Structure 1
Amino acid sequence: MAHAPQIRIPATYMRGGTSKGVFFNLADLPEQAQQPGPARDALLLRVIGSPDPYQKHTDGMGGATSSTSKTVILSKSDHQDFDVDYLFGQVAIDKPFVDWSGNCGNLTAAVGAFAINNGLVDRDRIPDNGIAVVRIWQVNIQKAIIAHVPITNGEVQETGDFELDGVTFPAAEVQVEFMDPADGDGALFPTGRLVDQLEVPDVGTFEATMINAGIPTIFIQAQDLGYTGTELQGDINEDPAALARFEAIRAHGAVKMGLINDVGEAAARQHTPKVAMVAPPRNYQASSGKDVLAADIDLSVRALSMGKLHHAMMGTAAVAIGTAAAIPGTLVNRAAGGGERKAVVFGHPSGSLRVGAEAVAQGESWQVTKAVMSRSARILMEGWVRVPADSV
């Protein structure tokens, strides 16, 4: 019996923020995977090692968590005034699908470095020393992102002393600006209200702020579900009933936001929307053992990604947090103490993070011009990934 040989594909394994994933230059993919469709999805699933009923990703590059089961495809931009087109694929762990419905804000921090290293940015835009401003077109949500990548002696600087809670070692700081971060073509608040009553059968009725910024996100108050907002992963992820309640909230919120027509469609759209709990600041101990003091944060946030509580905070959800915090009256703003804010520091399971946003009232609606935060990125490995030839 003949068996298919393995093929090898140039790839780079990178950490961006508190996530990591496999990065590809579009031109390096097998021809049939250079276009969206089943062949591309099949390839990325095999690269990551999904679907894996054991949920370990032993036979792939994935890390069996939502933060580490990610893929990125980059190409020189077809859009005027941009350097690189950035497409993100969130690979399901135990199911055979790739979710293309949103962006990954954490991996965005690595896009500029990959683009520079792979010749996708014109050489005259890269200083010998200083900051390279990389103009990124985010394909999933059709938005502009600006990455400020440090350069030393003409090369991307990856080492440094910038510390990011949720990442073990310090690295060079990469500032990322999410321009006009309202997701897609929809309204910032798809229901037209800052706070809604979200009715979830067999769970309850909750106040909710539903926002399209960075990534569609449903914010609820931790106390309404019996939580404090200081929970760590084990407190949620080891409770199947709790996870089921959060998924029900996510599905019904997605319908109310107009993202899906029926709650049954939520299972095929796991990446978006996100669900996050907010609470006023209080002291707690982060997963690393670090003490997070109420005096040092404005609020606490716990967010779920791909059905599990995230170990830190998704970058796109941080954009949603900063945006909602800047708008008086939202649940996020209320948890932070109310009033006008241009930045907040929020606590998450691994520590804290600062994010800024600029919001402007336009009559009865709001416009957010940009959200800004700092992350870091580093190449972990580069070379080729190998997959069986019949995977594509």
Structure 2
Amino acid sequence: MTTPQIKIPATYMRGGTSKGVFFKLNDLPTVAQVPGKVRDNLLLRVIGSPDPYGKHTDGMGGATSSTSKTVILSKSSKQDHDVDYLFGQVAIDKPFIDWSGNCGNLTAAVGSFAISNGLVAAERIPQNGICTVRIWQANIHKTIIAHVPITNGEVQETGDFELDGVTFPAAEVAIEFLNPAADAGEGGGAMFPTGNLVDELEVPGIGTFKATLINAGIPTIFVNAADIGYTGTELQEAINGDDAALARFETIRAYGAVKMGLISDISQAVARAHTPKIAFVAPPQSYVSSSAKQVNANDIDLLVRALSMGKLHHAMMGTAAVAIGTAAAIPGTLVNIAAGSIAREAVSFGHPSGTLRVGAAAELINGQWTVTKAIMSRSARVLMDGWVKVPGDCF
């Protein structure tokens, strides 16, 4: 006997340079309202994973790390917060969802969804102006503030704010990541888990590299582009079409994860593909972006390319941008050195799709670097609202 499909209320949203399927926690089937295999199986089927064809033809995923994402939201259980935000990064070709980190890009859509779906108290929403949505990021236990524009009592999604990596303009949403490195939890809870601004990262069979290992926004491994044979101007096809290069990056990432204390053995890296991220940096240089836009060296402070879920990202992950902004503000890190070795409260960097500016204020207190907030602008838009359908026996 065949099992019919069931329908679940859902919203398909773009946030920053990512998009994903958003759910209210209490709209999920009761058995999927708690973490575990049942929930994972349901969300895998929603996205269309695992897909050996790598296309997500039979699901809502877009067959890239930027578009294979799920979000679960609920009224916040934390005092002085509006919404709890849980993010799942769905693997494309494996039956696996990584819950170990945040998606900074989709954070821009969390505030909009929360307002439109009754998760923010009505008295906190102005008729016109900016609604400040207090988000508890449940994956990493951090507070994020989204400043969402409101027009005539509703979320304003249209506007003239342009974001490289996104085709059309939209309304600007400013995002504040509060204390993005405090109590990082993993890797000893420190912004620099090894205690060093720069480490010598030994990767057997590949080499030894200078690396900045930082817990800010998301655990990130920064290496110099030149040390691994790149210029920092690469676009996706230069790396994603090179299986040997991708394997080298994954090996470096695995050894970096061990050095950061995130895993105890490199074999465990496959089970946390979302974190840490690996990125490479270089001083400013002119290049042509993936959209054929000319990026001039004079308009940026440095170049950064980052990998997500084993592939070079088409733009920049929001959480990695927090790490970039934080590291750029701290003299002596590889990011700061690539940006000219001067103290900065904001940095503009070139990525494959264009440029991005992120601000961060860091200070040295009792010999330890701390950062109070990182700030960047994103945009968000509802793409489709209604129900997603899945076979009733898939979970």
**Distance in structure 1 (CA, Å) of the matches to 2:222 and 2:385:** 38
Confirm or deny that 1:193 pairs with 2:196. yes
The runs of 4+ residues in structure 1 deviating greater than 6 Å are: none
Quote the residue 1:50 is aligned against. Answer: 49
The answer for the alignment partner of 2:289 in structure 1 is 286
Aligned to 1:166: 165
Correspondent of 1:368 among 366, 371, 378: 371
State the match for 1:237 in structure 2: 240
Q: For residues 54-109 of structure 1, what are the alpha-carbon distances to aligned partners after superposition, in whole Å with 9 as ceiling and x for unaligned?
A: 00000000000000000000000010000000000000000001000000000000
Check if 1:18 corresponds to 2:21. no
Match of 2:222 in 1: 219
The answer to whether the aligner puts 1:28 opposite 2:31 as a matched pair is no
For the aligned residue pairs, the C-alpha RMSD in angstroms reads 0.5
Match of 1:358 among 351, 356, 361: 361
Is 1:204 the counterpart of 2:207 in the alignment? yes
SS in 2 for 1:78: coil
Establish whether residue 140 from structure 1 lines up as the match of residue 143 from structure 2.
no
Q: What residue is the counterpart of 1:381 in the other structure? A: 384
TM-score (norm 1): 0.99
Return the letter of the residue paired with 2:225.
A
1:8 matched to which residue of 2? Answer: 7
Separation of aligned partners in 1, 2:225 and 2:308: 16
Q: Which residue of 1 aligns with 2:151?
A: 152
Q: Which amino acid aligns with 2:120?
A: V
Q: Does 1:248 align with 2:214?
A: no
Letter in 1 for 2:300: I
Task: Give how far 1:364 is off.
Answer: 2.0
Q: Distance in 2 between matches of 1:209 and 1:365?
A: 15
Task: Give CA-to-partner distance per residue, 1:105-158, whole Å, 9 cap, x none.
Answer: 000000000000000000000000000000000000000000000000000000
Q: How far, CA to CA, are the matches of 1:10 and 1:198 in structure 2?
A: 46
Give the match for residue 272 of structure 1: 275
Q: Does 1:131 align with 2:110?
A: no
CA distance in 2, matches of 1:376, 1:156: 12
* 1:222 CA displacement: 0.1
Cα deviations across residues 204-235 of structure 1 (Å, max 9, x unaligned)? 10000000000000000000011000000000
Q: 2:330 aligns to what?
A: 327
Q: CA deviation at 1:339?
A: 1.6
| Residue 350 of structure 2: aligned partner | 347
Match of 2:58 in 1: 59
Give the distance between the partners of 1:357 and 1:268, measured in 2 at CA: 31
SS at match of 2:393: helix
Which residue identity does 2:378 align to in structure 1?
Answer: R
How far did 1:391 drift? Answer: 1.1
Percent identical among aligned pairs is 77
Structure 2: gaps spanning 5 or more residues: none
- 2:109 counterpart of 1:110: yes
Deviation at 1:363, TM superposition (A): 2.5
Question: Residue 307 of structure 2 aligns with which residue?
Answer: 304
Residue type of the alignment partner of 1:134: V
**TM-score, length-normalised on structure 2?**
0.99
SS in 1 for 2:95: coil
* Number of residue-to-residue matches in the alignment: 391
- Give the letter for the 2:360 counterpart: A
Q: Does 1:263 align with 2:262?
A: no
